[in-house]
Chains A and B, each alone.
Chain A
Amino acid sequence: MKKKTGAKAAARFADGAPILFRGGRVVDPSQSLDGVKDLLLVDGRVEALGKGLSAPDGARVVDCKGLVVMPGLIDVHVHLREPGGEHKETIQTGARAAAAGGFTAVGAMPNTDPPIDNPAAVAFVLAAGQRAGAARVYPLGCISVGQKGERLAEIGEMVAAGAVGITDDGHPVMDSGLMRLALEYAQIFGVPVADHPEDLGLSRGGAMNEGLVATRLGLHGKPNASEDVHILRDLIVAELTGGHIHLQHVSTRLGIDAIRQAKARGVRVTAEATPHHMLLTDEAVEGYRTEAKMNPPLRSRADVDAVIEGFRDGTLDVLATDHAPHHYDEKEQAFDDAPNGIVGLETALGLVHAHLVGPGVIDLSTMVERMSVSPAKAFNLPGGTLRKGSPADVTVMDPAHVWTIDADTFLSKSHNTPFNGWELAGRAVMTVVGGRVVWELE
């Protein structure tokens, strides 16, 4: 295994010393800002943003010429596997991987073993996240006790303990009545209900997208309809209750159309797009490549185009990685037996920058909107802005840095990515959380 890069923290400057980012292109759509400016962080807060700022005593001055300075990136959909899956990832390794990918905060999915369905478990994740000292870790709690889809978990207690949302991700809420209760009940706590939209009847037995590739490979398919039906159900129940539904990893053309229409009607819906559903089709499964096995599955070209369009026009307002680490020997199995999911924290920024911003599909401002501003808004998180007084969470990207994805160098415990070997332009060079440098590219 190669040497892991970037593990060193910036120890040359005292923790909590002011930082002045000088002369970078500051992109902050929360205040419609895109221009060369200085940014000063003092005492864990944004102190000033402007031209020709002078450095206070003891401040670290970072020359940001040619670099992009943005509000810290937030990934609201990651699986950190702790407790129960520590051989795949821990809260610490996951939070460090996030920082290395330019993320200053992540939303931790509660489908661990045991699941995070009570306030004590939420407090455990929160504390482990703080100990990690890297990206902020915001726990999500389960919708239902044990993610069994039967009765509501203690949502109020979990929110009081620090949960920022609720979800049974990995186990779609199949009971529409329960989804109604969740959407009604969660409203008073101001947290969204995040759902993995999949009708398990329609997707039964499926290992990949339904279509010609699956038919040729002799693998069972999950039709788009399995996702479409569930998205429509969630939208309709959200409309009924006035609750906030957050649709996870949306991958289908019809589903995106339905979200677009629901937004136009004023339904409270936010939705995720993942890098892999915008960059790969089900042809990546060819040869039974388990690193391309995920749920929802990689879909057709038409769906990929629809996800990109939805991401561009804001129907899918949040970029999320669905970071899903798996131990290598779990993936080295027959396709049907291998688990779903890929890691994404250390590749997302480069992929989005190189493949969507680079060719002009979206501009930098939209990228920051989808990767920082909107996720913060959707989950009511601090951050997502560089306004004076906001938390000093900052990501600095070198847009010209050309690098090749090498899974062996990931800080994540797991290396399961279909993007290994991709050459990208654009990489986080510094990640700052609460005014502390938590990661810096050597």
Chain B
Amino acid sequence: MTPTVAHFGKDLIGLEPLTGDQIRAILDTAEPFKEISERRIKKVPVLRGKTIVNLFFEPSTRTRISFEFAEKRLSADTVNIQTAGSSVVKGETLVDTARNLEAMRIDMVVMRHSASGAARFLAERIPSNVINAGDGSHEHPTQGLLDLLTIRDNLGKIEGAKVCIVGDILHSRVARSNIYGLIKLGAEVAVCGPPTLQPVGIEELGVHIFNRVEEAIEWADALNVLRLQLERMQSGYVPSLREYNRLWGISTARLEHAPKELLILHPGPMNRGVEIDSDVADGEHSVILDQVTNGVAVRMAVLYLLAGGAPEKAESAKGGAES
């Protein structure tokens, strides 16, 4: 098999180490997989015989289910391990987890963990492919990819698009993956939110900073609205949800001042009435459900490529529906 630009290594830990061409190749590979989900029999034999563990140290229904659909539609055998709570569960360390997985000869591991760096930690210790499904505040690459795909689908292209990420950038892995991916594909990127939730040095990544959401709305083609974790209020980053909504919440009234129609993305799950009002979430510019659909396609593409598939063959790979 000849490696192509799409073969980005053993693992997918983040978008930061990838090139623009590699990211484009993943998005292009996702296109044909979108269609599988529209079929009556939503299954192709691409990963038949492969075993995948979905290892979730943090509860996340939607990401896990999206991966699981992607895996099943590619005919992989999947096991879900969900361990809620802290990063070290009942004394078992990440090292032990890695050793156990290695002993079970798993082909791929999809991992969600509360500690930044956890995915890389695992990837350095096991021969299986590791897909980062979110590590602490670091990266959530498949979310970044599905956001890119959704923006590309709806705006026609990413290059030159102005995308503002609104909310808690400090703790957001979604924000980081979006920033890396968007900039590599030529978009202009801004962040907006409470100054207490903007990480130091973020502008050095090449993003603009807006403190007032009105400025962001005036500037942007698309808003990616982040979930405000309720514990941010308990730890004092924002005084109250009401005040957050009043200052940074995305409402129809605010969007009326936009000079152009804005695309609204949200990685979910939403706090309606906090970071986003229901009429916006359910409104005509919301592409939140497209994101969910694209999530499965993008994850199929990533699984397919990590398993050694060629992007140009994705079209034919999807051909052989299981009978």
Contact = CB atoms under 8 A, between A and B. Distances in A.
A218 to B, nearest CB: 3
B202 A215 contact: yes
B95 interface: yes
A283 to B, nearest CB: 13
Interface string A346-361: 0000000000000000
A337 B139 CA distance: 18
Interface in A388-435: none
Interface residues of B, number: 26
A333 interface: yes
Contacts of B205: 212, 215-216
Contacts of B138: 217-219
Given A215-B199, A218-B176, A223-B200, A334 B95 contact: no
Nearest to B88: A337
Interface string A208-221: 00111011111111
A287 interface: yes
Contacts of B139: 218
Contacts of B201: 211-212, 214-215
A288 interface: yes
B200 A218 contact: no
A304 B136 CA distance: 29
B87 interface: yes
A332 interface: yes
Place the interface of chain A in its size category: 20 to 34
Contact of A336 (B16, B115, B202, B204): B115
A337 B199 contact: no
A425 to B, nearest CB: 32
Contacts of A334: 87, 94, 113, 115-118, 121, 136
Contacts of A442: none
A287 B205 CA distance: 18
Interface string B244-257: 00000000000000
A334 B118 CA distance: 6
Contact of B116 (A332, A333, A335): A335
Interface in A142-183: none
B135 interface: yes
Given A216-B16, A218-B136, A329-B93, A337 B200 contact: no
Given A329-B95, A334-B117, A214 B87 contact: no
Contact of A219 (B113, B137, B202): B137
B120 interface: yes
Interface string B137-180: 11100000000000000000000000000000000010010000
Interface in A121-157: none
Contacts of A211: 200-201
Given A217-B117, A218-B135, A219-B116, A333 B93 contact: yes
Interface string B73-96: 000000000000001100001110
A280 to B, nearest CB: 18
Nearest to B176: A218
Interface of A: 210-212, 214-221, 223, 287-288, 329, 332-337
26 contacts: A212-B200, A215-B202, A215-B205, A216-B16, A216-B176, A216-B205, A217-B116, A218-B116, A218-B117, A218-B136, A218-B138, A218-B139, A218-B173, A219-B116, A219-B117, A219-B137, A223-B200, A288-B120, A288-B121, A332-B95, A333-B94, A333-B95, A334-B117, A334-B136, A336-B87, A336-B136
Given A212-B204, A214-B200, 7 more contacts: A212-B201, A218-B135, A218-B139, A288-B116, A336-B115, A337-B88, A337-B115
